[in-house]
Amino acid sequence: MITFFRLLRIIIFAVLFYLLFKNLYKIFWKHKRPNLFTNKKNKPPQIKEEQMKKDPICGTYIPESQAIKYKHENEVLFFCSENCKEKFLKSEKNR
């Protein structure tokens, strides 16, 4: 009979220890671990949208940040490469 009460006491202590550990884990560790695939607020990262600009010489579309900019008669032109820009400048000289 005494061994039954000892076993019951061990089971009760084990359950209490488990519940205490589970609650302490929720309070101190679980919410501080960041998700590897999202930012800290669990929102997906924002992707910066960028406008595509058309090259007036070859007709290629280029992201604005990667384009070569040239201001011509109060208008900004976007080129995909230095070659296209040079072709444009040569055609302007021939006019």
Task: For the beta carbon of residue 78, count every other beta carbon within 10 angstroms.
Answer: 22
Q: How confident is the model at residue 31 (pLDDT cuts 50, 70, 90)?
A: low
How high is the mean pLDDT of the chain?
Answer: 83
Give the SS3 label for residue 53.
strand
**For residue 22, what pLDDT is reported?**
86
pTM beyond 0.85, yes or no? no
Q: What angle do CA 47, 34, 41 make, to 5 degrees?
A: 50
Q: Given a cut of 70, is residue 11 above it in pLDDT?
A: yes
